[in-house]
A and B are shown apart, each in its own frame.
Chain A
Amino acid sequence: MSEYDARGKVNRALLICVHDYETLTRLPAVEDNAEALRHALTRPGTDLFTADEVVVCRPHRPEDLSTALRTAADEARGLLLVYFSGHGWVGNDGADLQLMVGASDTRQSHTTVSWQDTVLSCLDNARADRVVIVLECCYSGNADSAFHALRKPVSLLMAAQPNRRIFSGEEGAGGTAFTRAVVRILEQGRADRPFVTFDDLAGALRDELADERTPMGEAWEPRAAKQNTLDDVVLSFATPEDRPATPLKIRLRRWSNQHLRRRAKLLIALAAVCALVAAGLVAARVLTPPGPCPPALELRLLTAPEAEPALRRAAFDYEMSPLNTRPLDGEQDLPDGCRRAQITVYSAAKDQIDQGFAAADRWQGEAHGGAPGAPARSTATDPLYRPGPQPDLWIPESTADYEEARRGMPSTGSPATLHDTGPVAYSPLVVGIPAGTQLDGVERVDAPWKDLLTSTDSDRQNLRLLRPSPVLSGTGLLHTLGLYLAGDGAPIGPSGAPDPTRARDAERRLAAPGSQYAGSPELLCSLRQDGGPDQAPERPGNGRSPHSAPLVSEKSLADFNLGHALGGCPALDAPPPLGDRYYAYYPKNVPALDHPLIRVDWAGTADAAPRRAAVARFADWLRDPAGGQRSLTAQGYRGLPEKDGSAPRPDAASPLLNPRADTDPTAPVTRFTAGPDQVAQVLADYNRAQRASRLLILMDTSTSMADGGKLPIVVGAAARALEMVGAHHTYGLWTFPDPAHPGDPAAVRRAVPLGSTDPAPGRAALDRIAKGELVDHGAAMEEALTTAVTEMKKPGEGNSAIVLLIDEDDGGPRRAAGVEQKLTTLLKEAPEVPVLTVVMGRVGCDTFVFQGLARASAGQCVSGGPAAPDLLAGLVASVGTAGTVRR
């Protein structure tokens, strides 16, 4: 909490002390309160008010009090302290506290001072930064309620709790017990505190008065309240310790407050203006307030979902740094101090980014209806929709992603040009091994992949290796590259070709339905134990930590172990217990994620020069140890090597140094050395290691899908699944109910026949559905699914899976006996055909039917929502890997 320090400002303390009453009991002790307080507040040790800033007021008529109050409120600019010591009175209902002045009579309201109507309304117009009020009177605790209507930042100290009178003022001379305690605290300070704040005073008073009693015999408790502020206010700089000298600046300001009267100030200001005018144009420029700042240049930063939060934070730090106010090359002149660039960070899956760059002409030319000769709209992707804006800079997870994207771009004619400016941050790749598991004879750092594979296999620890999809995620791709090229622990040479046997062996270990995820956040989020039992069914894989070993990056694993937010999983209150964490194992010579910064130039851009300059400056800042490196390493990344090439040790702010991160900050960072051909080869081997696959997308197109925004999500999920198909991975798109056979619940409409390789007809069909081609019948899910499963169980090449997109099963009421039984039996027959379901309806995956479907078919269920398309994509990407080994 910050403390407001009023020293050197124009402050006022108004000490209102009433001891001489006409009709009420006189309060002799109060008479001395004023002097004691004035002395305490102005003594050098207290160091807050100067002598002329403290005003004592002993009002006889109400006007005396209100006039003094108004004057103080007008004059104070820093702190206004109002202290009332005298009689207080309330009505029968305890409301409307009245302060009593000398002539006050409780029976005549015009003779009293209303706390609410007079005091508060006057203070509400005060010009001070902070107002502190101390009320030492009976019923002072009742001041609390009306006080909350104030609009100024005010702190209120009440001598007692509500509806209490106090013994005070009748003690004889020498000040009241309460004020004596206040004076003591302000003069002596508090042990181990450099000053006394409002909160300190309130707390100390409670201690001092702990033994006192109210006239009703209860404890006497001073109360404190604040309105419009959470800050604390310093009321005295007294301390029992050595007090530092008052800073010169404050002494000078005080001197000027005291000695330079308003007229003198005005004269000096005029003289200064004259002097400046005389000084000519330069001075004139100084005096002119800088003009308003136009919006900064907008930069679009594309990255991977894993890196998005860290880069967003770093980009914000840059935006708010002084470096961002310096002029850029080629930029028009801006007023001084204006921010030059603003950066929007967004992310997309790797395959979508690749598709975007491959179709950069569409990305740029969307508004013009696409490049000439491009296929019709309904059959092509919308790069602006996904991956999103045309990036000015792209920071993929590794150089392998960049190489892959470049390979997919046309060699000439693309409006986008990519410039690799080199890495900005590293994160070594790791395998997370459940903390309770011992891998015999395997070191945590620098063990070759082959030893890790052996020690985790079914004969030993029997761990299930989980990897983000190499197609969808940069981490997945680089892990695959490490497995294939550095499997034996030897460094990756520039020309080494992957050994196809090793690829096959590795993929055999990673082969299981749902063993792949769209990215590390999805993977780790699904492993987080406390996702809640009701969340579990919708998490693909349902991998539970004791049996799973995630292949991720050091940074992601540290985030998991430290309980940080991961994708859709919110941050935990504390790191999970050791039993739920994973130890990081660092496979030897596997390259680390290197996050290269790629500048993207777009042809025909009017502001190309300042845009390039803005990217270059941000890139320099990201690599600056005092700039972006600090921000990125504080979020768990490894920094760039020092000038001598040595790897920097994570600095003190790095989460990697937290023992509960279970990572090893001394593990080496292996640079990326593979060439473009090797990346291509790895992907080719990966594709070869997968089996051919057949996907049947079975979609509920009943009219209920149109309600409540379900249709765009379900069409988006189907479109995302279509992005996974190709020559090796064929598909079909069927819909139900079938409008041609309204009486047959088992009938389906074969919109795109099974075995198709071109996604275009599928996209066209989805477009028609999105535009409202729906059927006004109930959707009989089990019957339609039976038709689909029967077809898919027929012998065919490779693995098969069904993607079922369903709102709700409407077939129940008219369902013939035995349909469900038949379906379940069919699902369990060989060959396995996993059903991957996306449920849009109200029940989500939480029903017996959908859980049963997933179980019987070895499939998964995903509840419809914004994350559904990417979760489904991860599942579909695993179809080809499943069953590379017969199970």
Chain B
Amino acid sequence: MRARAALPAAALALLLTAAVGGCTSGRPAPEQGPIVLATGSDLSSSGVRQDLIHAWERRTGRTVRIVKLPDTADAQRSQLLAAGQSGNSGYDVLNIDVAWTAEFAAAHVIRPWDGGLDGDFLPSVVKTATGDDGKIWAVPFNTDAGLLYYRKDILKKYHHSAEPPSNWGELKNVAVEVTNAYNREAARAAKAAGKEPPPTLYGMVAQLRPYEGLTVNTLEAAWANGGNPDATSFSKGEQIGALQMGVAELKGRLDTIMPHEATAMDETESRRWFADGRALFMRNWPVEYASIAEKLTPLVQFDVAQLPARPDGKRMSVLGGQNLAIAADSTHPSGARALIEALTDPESERCLLERGFAATRSSAYRTAGGAPHCPLPPGDAQRGEHGAGGAPSAPPDGPPPYTQVLKGALLAAEPRPRSAHYQTFSKVVQIRVSEYLDSQGGTAIADELAKEADQALSGRQ
């Protein structure tokens, strides 16, 4: 019954939208009812993004209903896409992972964003909101770039320099040298004190469990080996070999400087190892900074840097983050647009940066005086949000200490392949690469992997 009732309503809404588009005079009838925002991350209970929504509700008198999606990104995507394809989602605004924009656009479950994005948005981030067709389909809400976390104190003591390694080869060498020295000394000290030796210090941890994190780490390794982030194929021209070499390098790192458990690690688990003092280096997102800062002293015991460079000096990370888009079957498109504009305006982006998110606008990163002012009351700054870092380590009214490193990383970061079939590509990478990482010998999977990756991206067999 409900569904039948919903159909005429949707048709009516469509008529209304058409009327809005077709008329130049007269005002459209105001939209009724709350704006429905479907979101995965914990936007529903507390935190700065929730505060920004409340502030908008207070300002406009409209209400926003949040539909809380599952914790895992795969499940969020699945529900948003399938419900959109079935045409009965009832959602107005979708908070989507940047990697899904092209697919959602091609599947017509979101609407193009008319009018484009202003020049304040970081250029690398704008790419994530752009579809296969070059059109803008969403507005970047918060972004992210992978960073190299490193134990400053241990490097200083055993490597005589607190500087992080500048390229991946050096990272491996430093990791071997430092962890050997550290573990030897720890074992000796424990023996002298008659205690059990502390847990082994490993060279590095990263996200190698077969999930999206493995795809991210694989792409970064392929790019570090000369891969071109804009290429649409892994088996043509200069791309040949980049994926192959990247994957071989990942396995090399796993077999020499990483614990075997890394093949079961995600962001949280790798962060726990690093924060527990069991790894010298870690590749992770800035959102983990605050949790680590609870256990290790920032800038003294640990610090962050951009990822190590490839031979030509480029340091490239995969861009993470979320975009906001208007659902194709939204019945409140004007309200949805107004909400998205407010959540991504310069002031809101500054609030996001101050509360531990990576902002998508350049202006947010300006130093104190020149930056837009975050209008949220300072009391809210006390509350962290799952998915945001920085809160405890940030000065009360300023951005977190890693801000400039992050900005550098964001400017050099690149989106994952922008394809309507990205998800299948990612599954191929996860399945094949994790088989390879778990294998004992050095069987090269790469030609096969490159072929299957191309097949996945084409949408064909």
Contact surface of A with B, Cβ cutoff 8 Å: 1-2, 129, 148-149, 151-153, 227-231, 290, 292-300, 313, 316, 319-322, 324-325, 337-339, 342, 344, 346, 361, 364-369, 371, 382, 384-390, 392, 415, 534, 565, 568-571, 573, 602-608, 611, 703, 706-709, 711-713, 715, 767, 770-772, 842, 865-866
Contact = CB atoms under 8 A, between A and B. Distances in A.
Contact of A607 (B85, B269, B440, B461): B85
Contacts of A367: 36, 38, 65, 67, 89-91
A711 B387 CA distance: 12
20 contacts: A228-B241, A290-B460, A292-B420, A294-B107, A299-B82, A320-B428, A339-B424, A339-B461, A346-B70, A365-B90, A384-B79, A385-B70, A388-B72, A388-B75, A415-B3, A706-B46, A713-B386, A771-B46, A842-B275, A866-B71
A296 B291 contact: no
A344 B6 contact: no
A230 B385 CA distance: 45
A842 B311 CA distance: 39
Most buried by A among B83, B275, B428, B440: B83
B366 interface: no
B376 interface: no
When A and B form their complex, which 9 residue pairs have the shortest distance between CB atoms, in order from nearest?
Answer: A604-B3, A293-B459, A367-B90, A228-B241, A344-B78, A570-B264, A389-B79, A606-B87, A709-B386
Given A322-B461, A390-B83, A571-B263, A300 B78 contact: yes
A707 B290 contact: yes
B85 A297 contact: yes
Given A367-B90, A771-B46, A1 B68 contact: no
A304 to B, nearest CB: 15
A292 B275 CA distance: 46
A707 B86 contact: no
Nearest to B209: A570
A2 B443 CA distance: 9
A445 B88 CA distance: 51
Contact of B85 (A151, A298, A346, A368): A298
A756 B314 CA distance: 61
Interface in B223-270: 225-226, 238, 240-242, 244-245, 248, 260-261, 263-264, 268-269
B373 interface: no
A386 B2 CA distance: 23
Nearest to A573: B260
Given A228-B241, A296-B459, A570-B261, A709 B72 contact: no
B70 A228 contact: no
A313 B2 contact: no
A293 B387 contact: no
A228 B226 contact: yes
Contacts of A292: 132, 420, 459
Given A153-B241, A293-B459, A570-B261, A606 B88 contact: yes
Nearest to B38: A367
B28 to A, nearest CB: 22
A319 B461 CA distance: 9
Contact of A337 (B71, B79, B460): B460
A322 B460 CA distance: 9
A148 B310 CA distance: 12
Interface string B1-16: 0111011000000000
A842 B294 contact: yes
Given A706-B382, A770-B45, A866-B268, A298 B82 contact: yes
B452 to A, nearest CB: 8
A386 B268 contact: no
Interface of B: 2-4, 6-7, 34, 36, 38, 42, 45-46, 65, 67-72, 74-75, 77-79, 81-83, 85-91, 103, 106-107, 132, 199, 225-226, 238, 240-242, 244-245, 248, 260-261, 263-264, 268-269, 272, 275, 290-291, 294-295, 311, 382-389, 391-392, 420-421, 423-424, 427-428, 431, 438, 440, 442-444, 446-448, 452, 455-456, 458-461
A346 B6 contact: no
A707 B392 contact: yes
Contacts of B263: 570-571
A344 B75 contact: yes
B103 A611 contact: no
Given A300-B82, A389-B79, A603-B3, 11 more contacts: A230-B245, A295-B420, A300-B78, A342-B423, A368-B2, A368-B6, A384-B67, A604-B3, A607-B87, A712-B386, A771-B45
A389 B83 CA distance: 9
A231 B444 contact: yes
A572 B245 CA distance: 26
A707 B294 CA distance: 9
Nearest to A154: B241
A211 to B, nearest CB: 30
B240 A153 contact: yes
Contact of A366 (B2, B67, B245, B291): B67
A569 B91 contact: no
B459 A369 contact: no
Contact of A293 (B7, B272, B384, B421): B421
A389 B38 contact: no
Given A229-B241, A604-B88, A607-B86, A709 B461 contact: no
B384 A320 contact: no
B170 to A, nearest CB: 14
A72 B338 CA distance: 61
B2 A708 contact: no
A534 B82 contact: no
Contacts of A293: 420-421, 458-460
B320 to A, nearest CB: 16
B264 A294 contact: no
A21 to B, nearest CB: 35
Contacts of B291: 708-709
Contact of B392 (A229, A313, A708): A708
Contact of A294 (B38, B70, B90, B420): B420
Given A230-B244, A230-B446, A571-B438, A772 B383 contact: yes
Contacts of B87: 605-607
A875 B204 CA distance: 34
A153 B75 CA distance: 39
A707 B264 contact: no
Contacts of A703: 382
A149 B310 CA distance: 10
Contacts of B275: 842
Contacts of A708: 290-291, 294, 384, 389, 391-392
Nearest to A361: B2
B443 A1 contact: yes
Contacts of A384: 67-70, 79
Contact of B86 (A534, A568, A602, A866): A602
Contacts of A152: 238
B219 to A, nearest CB: 17
A474 to B, nearest CB: 20
Nearest to A295: B107
Nearest to A129: B240
A385 B4 CA distance: 25
Given A337-B461, A415-B3, A708-B392, A568 B264 contact: yes
B427 A709 contact: no
A613 B293 CA distance: 52
Nearest to B459: A293
A842 B199 CA distance: 16
Contacts of A770: 45-46
Nearest to B100: A295
Contacts of B268: 865-866
Nearest to A366: B67
Nearest to A709: B386
A316 B431 contact: yes
A161 B79 CA distance: 59
Contact of B311 (A2, A129, A148, A300): A148
B46 A772 contact: yes
Given A230-B245, A300-B82, A709 B46 contact: no
